[in-house]
Amino acid sequence: MTLITLLCLAASPTHDLVMSRAPQRFTTHDRPTNAHETTHFLVGSSAGFDGATVHRLTDPGLTTAQVDAFVRARGYRHATYFPTAETRGHRSAFWIVGEASGYLAGAKTAEEDTNSGAFVPASDWVSGVAEFGHYLHAYADAYRFHQPAIFAADTAFHNFLASWTAEAKRVFLANAARFPLAEQGVLFQQWANK
């Protein structure tokens, strides 16, 4: 009984942070998925989450097609998200920031729970970080290309991108072997030098 209590106490601080701050919560899935989905409520439509801090951001109004033009490698999630974004109500490509935030929260939860012994890896959790890292940097490239003056002055976005990237790289490099998926290395290489 004591061991179970200690494992629960040692489980993911990222999961607990997301769940304590979001106005609505998902609790019907495994903890990484709950953290991912609940992060969407945490960030809403005007913020990004770097795994520790919520950054209030301004939507520059890019379209998904504008961002997709900068995507060099398409992972398996691409077909789920990009072609249907507008039909799902995403008139702006800002949804990419929210998905990158969610995938990082889920990956960190899986990492922290696994490190504490409270979660046994049964599925991939870091390929979402690898894939959406590429899409998030494609978003930044499209933003820089289509709105260079606004991009240059958007310190909130630059701070978010830098902190998200640093933590996502750390999580990916520490966990890629524990949560394997064949394409994740190719996707990570698209933004590994950022």
* Per-residue model confidence as pLDDT tens digits over 118-164: 876 767 788 899 999 999 999 999 999 999 999 999 999 999 999 99
Q: State how far the Cα of 154 lies from the Cα of 143, in Å rounded to an integer.
A: 10
Please state, rounded to an integer, the average pLDDT across all residues of the chain.
91
Q: What are the beta bridge partners of residue 54?
A: 49
Q: What are the beta bridge partners of residue 49?
A: 54
Domain ranges of the chain: 2-189
At 16, is the pLDDT very low, low, confident or very high (cuts 50, 70, 90)?
very high
| 83 pLDDT above the threshold of 70 | yes
Q: State how far the Cα of 128 lies from the Cα of 121, in Å rounded to an integer.
A: 15
- The DSSP symbol for 89 reads T
Model's pTM, two decimal places?
0.92
18, HSE (Cβ side, Cα atoms, 13 Å): 33
Q: State how far the Cα of 98 lies from the Cα of 37, in Å rounded to an integer.
A: 10
